[in-house]
Chains A and B, each alone.
Chain A
Amino acid sequence: MYHLNSRLAAEIFDGEYIIANLDTGLYFNVQGIAVSLIQLLPFESQDAVIDQLANLFPENSDTIKNELTNIFKELIENEIILNSDLKTPVESSVNNLPTEYIPSRFNKYADMQDLLLLDPIHDVDEEGWTIQNQPE
């Protein structure tokens, strides 16, 4: 069963999905019809859901299938969507199907990743304090 990673802060904000990994400083936003893909979680088959959304707009069906397949892959790779057994079944928001086709976008904000500091290996004195200071 595919489901949204519950460790992430995910909000619909101004029509977009904002997904934040507050532990690592990675932020994502998802726009367009891919918002509905996330709203339809949890589901067993991504192909069935992608087909369901694509069939809503026959004139854009192929485009939608293509973009949702790519974004689904991004969501899996970034562990926004996980594939595992759910202990508690969660109802998907089937009432939130889109009424117009808006192209999807997936944005990743990784600015803070470069700033994440590792805890350097350090020697400590008998009171537990680091012996050698290191710069910021």
Chain B
Amino acid sequence: MKPITYFDQVLALFEELPSYHTDQLSLADRKINLQTPSMELRGLFLPSLVHLVEEETSEQPELTIWYAEEKDLPRKLNAPPWEGFNGQGYNASIDQEDVQLFFQPWQRQIFLYSRSKRTGIYWVNKSEDVPWWECTFSFRIIFHLWTQDLPAQLIHAGAMAKNGEAVLITGKSGSGKSTSCLNLLRAGYDYLGDDYVWVELADNLTVFTLYQTAKIEPENLEERFLDWKPFIRNKADYLQQKAIFDIKDLFPKAAISSAVLKAVLLPTVFDQDYTSFKRTNPVNALMAMAPTTLHHLPHNRDISYQKMITISSKLTCYNWCLGRETNQFITSFDDFLKNEFANN
């Protein structure tokens, strides 16, 4: 079977639906329709994207995403009939021009995307089978597959801003990226994301918000964000997962939609009191963002890699040596921005 045939079989399940709910989003000034017959799945996937929801118009969307669980569809679906999916959900043997699949064989969920139809599909056996982390970056792989044809790239990074100017904060998991973003959020900075953001590669790089859901490890929560506990969304499960927060619950005015990117910061936790900034070369920025992003987003890696080279080369890059002193962390960041934004 060809991937396009499989895609058409899955799409037919959705096109036969007598009714479904539509949410219209605006992401980086592009319209997206999310269409589902399942209010249960909508309740899982929409919260991380709810800040992008706009009043529905008749305007043709640039991307349509169908999503459902099996019980809402007219027929059962067989698993993708190809061997060779790796642990990252990618199968090189069926990678071709139009249809692409993301499928981890030990899960009962599939993501599909057709470039020619600009349509993504998410199918899951039962809503209980949706991995908890999937809802914190809803439809990430479909957005990534969509960007193949756009001057845009999803980056595994946080982005914080002031007065419409932003810094990208990137590094592998555990580097202090998310914690730094959330500390800046608490200090009054504008929030674009702390895990994944959307970067537009026009003359001036612009970062757009993608998700407004933060995840915090339970021990990090106890140590640094204890006052946020009343706002945990997954109160029953956070000790086994991570504590999940909606940014709008914590800081209703902090989330902004976009900002001009001015610099990239590479955080590292140091055994020192004071936080400092040291200029570094763009190779280090590329090495901080590319391996981790491309690990999560295994399709079209060569295209994404080139986009990340462009992003790294256009930004001034700094090692952000994180110290223990919280107040100085904030004042040093204030000073850094004043100098950095004034010089560019």
Chain A interface residues toward B at CB < 8 A: 9, 11, 13-14, 16, 18, 20, 22-23, 25, 27, 29, 109, 111-112, 115-120, 122, 124, 127-130, 132-134, 136
Contacts and interface: CB of A to CB of B under 8 A. Distances in A.
B291 A25 contact: yes
A9 B309 CA distance: 12
Given A112-B291, A128-B81, A13 B129 contact: no
Given A13-B282, A122-B106, A129-B108, A20 B305 contact: yes
Nearest to B295: A112
A11 B282 CA distance: 13
B50 interface: no
7 contacts: A9-B305, A14-B283, A14-B313, A16-B281, A22-B301, A127-B78, A130-B108
B interface, how many residues as a size bin?
35 or more
A120 B295 contact: no
Contacts of A124: 79
Given A13-B309, A16-B283, A25-B295, A119 B86 contact: yes
A133 B106 contact: yes
Interface in B313-332: 313
Contacts, number: 86
Given A14-B282, A129-B79, A130-B105, A22 B292 contact: no
B290 interface: yes
Contact of A133 (B129, B287, B290): B129
Given A111-B172, A111-B292, A18 B283 contact: yes
Q: Which 3 A-B pairs have the closest CB atoms?
A: A117-B87, A128-B79, A22-B301
B88 A29 contact: no
A17 B292 CA distance: 19
A117 B88 contact: yes
A13 B88 contact: no
A23 B298 CA distance: 8
Contact of B106 (A20, A22, A112, A120): A120
Given A109-B287, A124-B79, A129-B79, 12 more contacts: A11-B309, A13-B282, A13-B283, A18-B286, A22-B301, A112-B291, A112-B295, A117-B86, A128-B79, A130-B79, A133-B108, A134-B106
B79 A22 contact: no
Nearest to B92: A23
Contacts of A132: 106
A27 B80 CA distance: 31
Interface of B: 76-81, 85-88, 92, 104-108, 125, 129, 131, 133, 172, 281-283, 286-287, 290-292, 294-295, 301-302, 305, 309, 312-313
B296 to A, nearest CB: 9
A30 B99 CA distance: 37
B78 A22 contact: no
B298 to A, nearest CB: 9
B313 A27 contact: no
Contact of A13 (B80, B85, B313): B313
B237 to A, nearest CB: 13
A89 B222 CA distance: 62
A103 B187 CA distance: 43
B87 A118 contact: yes
Contacts of B287: 18, 27, 29, 109
